[in-house]
Structures are given as structure tokens and as C-alpha cells.
Amino acid sequence: DAKTTQPPSMDCAEGRAANLPCNHSTISGNEYVYWYRQIHSQGPQYIIHGLKNNETNEMASLIITEDRKSSTLILPHATLRDTAVYYCIVRPRLLSNFGNEKLTFGTGTRLTIIP
Amino acid sequence: NAGVTQTPKFQVLKTGQSMTLQCAQDMNHEYMSWYRQDPGMGLRLIHYSVGAGITDQGEVPNGYNVSRSTTEDFPLRLLSAAPSQTSVYFCASSPPGQGALDEQFFGPGTRLTVL
């Protein structure tokens, strides 16, 4: 799986958009970008994933650059409950259940929402 | 649905003791996995299962055993606990089908201390 680079920490004011960057310059053509977050002491929570087109769901938007070497997770209106560690993960999107499926978590970005 | 449940929430063991961490899901997910998370580090895969009767090793399997006799349950056994196994353990599951592992559902974690 391609490695990812994220800033160790970021702050964002409550109500503003939080933009979390991720570099994945060695990403290959069949690898997707996934984002998870982990709120203190809880299990990780899936946020969103994408291949090359921008994606949006009820939680966030994912912007992937045209060369796919970096991406940005956008939380449009950050709240205090969004304070968490955010993980950017790059891996193939397997079409079967057989194989070494896993998520390789790095150390992520610790996002703090400031009141 | 209860989702992914883990018991116990906390456990203290002495070196050499054995125990089983329980994980259950009621979503009929075929894929289940165990991760450990150490302070300041991301999650590391211990063992995983793609269905009842099928298990395989992740990146840090030593000292742990698993079995998968039913779709719902995926227990993790520590045969002879060591202080290096002090960690937070997370169980996860995901549904079958195309795009397997697009979204993994994590349990609340078990905090294990080995003295």
C-alpha cells in the first residue's frame, strides 16, 4: 500500500471549514483514498473514500488532485464533536473478500476544534 | 442493531495468564478483524477472518490466536500474556460484496494491561 503523509496536528475554529491535507505521492492506479477518524478512546469511524473524482457525503467532502498525489478532507462546518485524530489511508478497493485485506493506519492528524 | 460489541472494556492480567477478548457483531458481516493500538501509534492488524472457519494472520500475530466458528463471533486469545501486549484492542467488521472493506465498523475497544 502507498504511504501517506499528514501533518501531526491542526486547529480549526468552530463553525469554520476544516481542511485536512494528505500526501500520497506513490499512489498507484488501483488504490483508493480512505479517511477514518478516531475520537478520543473510541474505535475508528469511517468517513469517506474516493478514487479520482471528488466525493461528498453527509459527513465530509474529499478532494483528490488530478495527479492523485494528494488529497484534502473537508469538514464544512466543524463542531467541537469533530475534535479527533484523522487518518488518511491508501489501499486497493478489493472486489472479493479473499486476500490480505487490511487498513494500514499511520499516526494521522490530530484536529482540535477551538470554540 | 448493536453493531460491533467487545467485552470486557478493561482488563488487568499478570504475566503468563491467559484470557480471551470477545468480539461479536449482529450485522451478518463476513469480514472481521482484530487490531491493537499502542500509545502514539496507529492501529496494527493482528488477525483477520473472511468468513466462518477461515482466519489468517495480520502484521503482528505473535502471541495471539483466533478462531471463527460462527459469522457473529471472533474471539482473540492471549495464551500467555506478556507486558508487551499491554494495549488497546479493537475489533472490526465489514459487509461482503463488491468493494469489501469500503467501510469497516469498529467496536469500542478493550483496554488491556499486563503487569
Question: Would you say how long chain A is, in residues?
Answer: 115
Whether pLDDT at B100 is above 70: no
* pLDDT value, residue B50: 85
Per-residue pLDDT band for A96 (boundaries 50, 70, 90) equals: low
Q: Convert the pLDDT of each residue in A25-52 to its tens digit.
A: 999 888 889 999 999 889 999 999 999 9
Tell which of B34, B104, B105, B110 to mutate to test the A interface (max A CBs under 10 Å).
B104
For cell 476544534, the residue is A113
Q: Are B15 and B86 in contact (CB under 8 A)?
A: no
Chain B partners of A5 at a C-beta cutoff of 8 Å? none
Q: Which of B43, B99, B107 sits opposite A105 (nearest CB)?
A: B43
* pLDDT value, residue A101: 58
Q: Which of B33, B56, B100 sits opposite A96 (nearest CB)?
A: B100
Q: Is B59 on the interface with A (CB under 8 A)?
A: yes
Q: What is the C-alpha separation between B36 and B18, in angstroms, rounded? A: 17
Instruction: Indicate yes or no: CB of A102 within 8 angstroms of CB of B58.
Output: yes
Whether pLDDT at B13 is above 80: yes
Chain B partners of A49 at a C-beta cutoff of 8 Å? 102
Q: Which of B28-32, B87-91, B98-102 has the lowest mean pLDDT?
A: B98-102
Q: What is the C-alpha separation between A88 and A28, in angstroms, rounded? A: 15
Q: Mean pLDDT over residues B94-113, rounded?
A: 80
Q: Are A38 and A88 in contact (CB under 8 A)?
A: no
Q: Is B98 on the interface with A (CB under 8 A)?
A: yes
B54 versus A96: the higher-pLDDT residue is: B54
